[in-house]
Amino acid sequence: MMDLNEMNNGIYSKLKDALAHDLKTRDLLNETVRIQCKALSARDAIGNPLHDDYPIIKGREVIVESDFRGVKGQAFTDSFEERSYRAQDLLEMTMDSNEQRASFVASLNAIYRYLGLCENTVHCKDEEPVDCAEYLLTERFFPNKILLIGFQPRFCEVLSRDHELRIIDLDENNIGHVVNRHMIEPEENTERALDWCDMLFVTGSTLVNGTINRFLQQPKPVIFYGVTISAASKILGLNNYCACGH
């Protein structure tokens, strides 16, 4: 039986294979097309939202942005690098760190957006995160018991109104805090929470932090949210929610 690292490597290999195919069929594979990756400030990433409890504002995460021929792609991460890549370089990355995975995923989003193969590769700003959460229950059906992977304050507020909710997060500064009557739980509680829930609502940043595969192997409905997983959701056929992305 493959371990989690082997399964994750399989996911990244699928993404690389799809990227190589689409670059080759459009004669972009051998061009010297530079992809510039950088970390955005909180203001550049999310503007001036109505709340200040988002991880990017609190400094726990950053958004890495890649620019491919003037088209932007983004990815959430807790660790980043600021550098340039050629398109060919992306296919040769080892993908063994959050820094490299963030650069790859942001660049994949930018390239696929440039090619017209995905949408919503730039994070929403200002009041839009609130709108995104409010649209949630009108655009998706949620059963009673929901497991939220990755604490997102507005989603927590909305899903808590009429549903049972458990929240798993990797940030030690969030774990143990009670939000909307629900305590944020540590990663080691994931298996019990998976047994408990009727469905999963999972942050797309699991693609960057290397935990995505444990949520792909579930017999229950799974929806991934956010801009990070925009291109990958198209390639892998995943359910993706991002109502207000750009």
Question: Domain map of the chain by residue range?
Answer: 4-114, 128-241
Return the number of other C-beta atoms located less than 10 Å from residue 40's C-beta.
17
pLDDT in tens, the chain (246 residues): 445 555 567 899 999 999 999 999 998 877 656 777 777 666 665 666 556 655 655 557 788 999 999 999 999 998 888 888 888 899 999 999 999 999 999 999 999 999 999 999 999 988 898 999 999 988 888 899 999 999 999 999 999 998 999 999 998 888 999 988 899 999 999 999 999 999 999 999 999 999 999 999 899 999 999 999 999 999 999 999 999 999
Architecture field, domain 128-241: 3-Layer(aba) Sandwich (3.40)
- Under the phi-then-psi rule, with left for phi > 0, alpha for psi from -120 to 50, and beta for the rest, what region is 8? alpha
Hey, CA dihedral for 31, 93, 7, 113, is it positive or negative?
negative
* Side-chain half-sphere exposure of 116, counting CA atoms within 13 A: 1
**Long-range own/partner contacts, residues 55-60 (CB < 8 A, 24 or more apart):** 55/151, 55/171, 58/173, 60/171, 60/173
- As a residue count, the chain comes to 246
Hey, CA dihedral for 196, 197, 200, 203, is it positive or negative?
negative
14 and 36 Cβ atoms separated by less than 8 Å: no
Look-up: residue for tokens 């069929």?
25
Both tokens of 98, joined, read 């959050």
Return the number of other C-beta atoms located less than 10 Å from residue 160's C-beta.
17
User: Residues 93-127: pLDDT tens digits?
Assistant: 999 999 999 999 999 999 999 999 999 999 998 88
3-state secondary structure 172-221: CCCCCCEECCEEEECHHHHHHHHHHCCEEEEECCHHHHCCCHHHHCCCCC
User: Residues 68-87: pLDDT tens digits?
Assistant: 999 999 999 988 888 888 88
Model pTM? Answer: 0.90
Q: Which residues of 209-246 are buried (b: 16+ CB within 10 A; e: fewer)?
A: bbbbbbbeeeeebbbbbbbbbbbbbebbebebbbbbbe
- In angstroms, rounded to a whole number, what is the distance separating the alpha carbons of residues 154 and 133? 6
